[in-house]
């Protein structure tokens, strides 16, 4: 939860910087490739359980991707680039967080099954003796 | 690495202090913290070195921008650095857990194999124990059958019935012939080996003579057998006697052969749980 809040805060800080400092460099080309990469990352995160396991990161990625696409449509290429980069890294973090939680869950379950197995095997070994 | 980092931060702060508006960049500071935290995680170095490299590259760009007071160019690389540092930690933690589970699988397989072997061993032991019991039971049954065969006893609903024929007694007498001894020895030995079984001795006569005489004779013959068994070590409490006179003939009383078959003593051997034997009828 702490991480989620700090991401939102930093996201806001970064976005503010984008809007204030970098908007208006019209000579930069539309970052179609970065938008495509960000979109693919968001889709992969959506399908990897991130909406369930990392809802904050997932929401940030979706929001930034939408804003990046909107900026690109308005030919605001610099904010579109920066937002696409952020959407990409947020989506990857969401996916990694989901993966981390799945792995942790699997490891915890594995530990429990090992514990059960150990005590069971101890019992069956004892009954042999 | 930490010393270098602190130097970098110190440099940044010092340079900021020289500037007209000294504002430490919050995004840059939190990026430094995130990268430093990731660096201290041993799993990151082991499993997510590339993610950490990317984070450090972003952080260097942000530091460079801060160094040259390009404040507007700090936030994006700082944000990317922080997120990549977190990404490194997530990847590293997941991979560390996965590796631990993978390593544990082999151990688990081993335990399961050992456990299954123990189960097989237990099952084998249980089977051989059961077989042993069955062998013992079979042996006991076979022994009993051999003994019953030797006594020439016949299984009936009341129990095993052993018929001692008239030839064991003199006509009209209740004393046993010496020839009865061998049969009674076998019966006494059987009862000695099966102390949980009771025995019922029933006497019968042919139809010749008065009812009271025949009844008395049948009683006396049953008691003679009882005495003979007691002499051979069978406790009196296990032996019941009854005289039925001419009742329950087993053959025709119209000829001498049939009458001889009717003059008899029947010994009923009870079940092995000590249950008393029901009276004839």
The partner residue sitting opposite B75, judged by closest CB among A14, A114, A121, is A14
Contacts of B279 (CB under 8 A, 6+ apart): B200, B242
**Predicted pLDDT at B208:** 87
How would you class B143 by CB atoms within 10 Å of its CB: exposed for 0-12, middle for 13-18, buried for 19 or more? exposed
**Predicted pLDDT at A124:** 65
**Predicted pLDDT at B73:** 92
As a whole number, mean pLDDT of residues B202-208 equals 89
Contacts of A7 in chain B (CB under 8 A): 83
pLDDT in tens, A40-59: 999 999 999 999 989 999 99
Contacts of A64 in chain B (CB under 8 A): none
Contacts of B73 in chain A (CB under 8 A): 21-22
Find where tokens 């010393």 sit: B3
Nearest CA in chain A to B55: A89
CA gap B241, A3 in Å, rounded: 99
Distance between A127 CA and the closest CA of chain B, angstroms: 8
pTM over 0.90: no
Distance between A26 CA and the closest CA of chain B, angstroms: 17
**Predicted pLDDT at A93:** 96
CA distances from B178 to B183, B202, B223, B274 (A): 10, 20, 16, 30
pLDDT in tens, A58-85: 999 999 999 999 999 999 999 999 999 9
The partner residue sitting opposite B87, judged by closest CB among A92, A107, A127, is A92
Contacts of A106 in chain B (CB under 8 A): 97-98, 101
Count of CB atoms situated within 10 Å of the CB of B150:
12
Cα atoms in the Cβ-side hemisphere of radius 13 Å centred on B72 = 9
The partner residue sitting opposite B111, judged by closest CB among A97, A118, A128, is A118
**Predicted pLDDT at B52:** 96
**B interface residues, A as partner, C-beta within 8 Å:** 26-27, 30, 71-76, 78-80, 82-84, 86-87, 90-91, 93-95, 97-98, 100-101, 104, 107-108, 111-112, 114-115, 118-119, 121-122, 125
Nearest CA in chain B to A120: B115
Contacts of A96 in chain B (CB under 8 A): 87, 90-91, 94
- Give the pair of three-digit tokens for residue B201: 């001795």
Q: Is the pLDDT of residue B108 over 90?
A: no
ipTM: 0.73
- Give the pair of three-digit tokens for residue B258: 């049939």
- CB atoms B114 and A93 under 8 Å: no
pLDDT category at B12 given cuts 50, 70, 90 is very low
């Amino acid at each position: 939860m702490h991480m989620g809040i700090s991401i939102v805060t930093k996201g806001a800080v970064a976005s503010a910087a984008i809007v204030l400092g970098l908007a208006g460099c019209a000579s930069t080309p539309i970052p179609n490739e970065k938008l495509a990469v960000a979109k693919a990352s968001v889709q992969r995160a959506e399908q990897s359980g991130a909406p369930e396991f990392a809802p904050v990161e997932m929401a940030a990625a979706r929001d930034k991707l939408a804003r990046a696409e909107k900026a690109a449509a308005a030919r605001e290429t610099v904010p579109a680039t920066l937002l696409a980069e952020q959407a990409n890294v947020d989506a990857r973090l969401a996916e990694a967080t989901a993966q981390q939680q799945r792995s942790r869950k699997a490891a915890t379950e594995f530990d429990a099954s090992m514990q059960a197995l150990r005590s069971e095997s101890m019992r069956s070994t004892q009954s042999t003796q | 690495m930490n010393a270098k980092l602190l130097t970098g931060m110190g440099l940044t702060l010092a340079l900021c202090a020289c500037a007209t508006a000294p504002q430490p960049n919050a995004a840059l500071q939190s990026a430094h913290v995130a990268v430093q935290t990731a660096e201290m995680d041993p799993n990151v170095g082991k499993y997510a070195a590339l993610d950490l490299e990317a984070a450090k590259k972003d952080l260097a760009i942000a530091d460079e921008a801060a160094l040259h007071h390009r404040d507007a160019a700090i936030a994006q690389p700082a944000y990317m650095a922080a997120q990549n540092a977190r990404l490194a930690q997530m990847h590293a933690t997941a991979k560390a857990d996965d590796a631990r589970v993978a390593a544990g699988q082999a151990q688990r397989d081993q335990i399961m194999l050992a456990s299954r072997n123990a189960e097989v061993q237990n099952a084998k032991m249980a089977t051989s124990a059961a077989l042993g019991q069955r062998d013992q039971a079979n042996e006991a049954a076979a022994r009993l059958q051999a003994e019953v065969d030797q006594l020439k006893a016949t299984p009936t609903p009341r129990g095993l019935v052993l018929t001692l024929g008239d030839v064991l007694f003199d006509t009209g007498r209740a004393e046993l012939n010496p020839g009865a001894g061998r049969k009674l020895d076998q019966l006494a030995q059987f009862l000695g080996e099966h102390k949980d079984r009771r025995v019922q001795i029933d006497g019968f006569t042919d139809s010749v003579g008065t009812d009271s005489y025949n009844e008395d004779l049948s009683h006396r013959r049953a008691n003679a057998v009882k005495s003979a068994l007691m002499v051979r070590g069978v406790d009196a409490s296990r032996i019941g006697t009854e005289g039925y006179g001419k009742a329950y003939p087993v053959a025709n009383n119209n000829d001498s052969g049939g009458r001889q078959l009717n003059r008899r003593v029947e010994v009923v051997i009870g079940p092995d749980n000590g249950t008393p034997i029901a009276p004839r009828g």
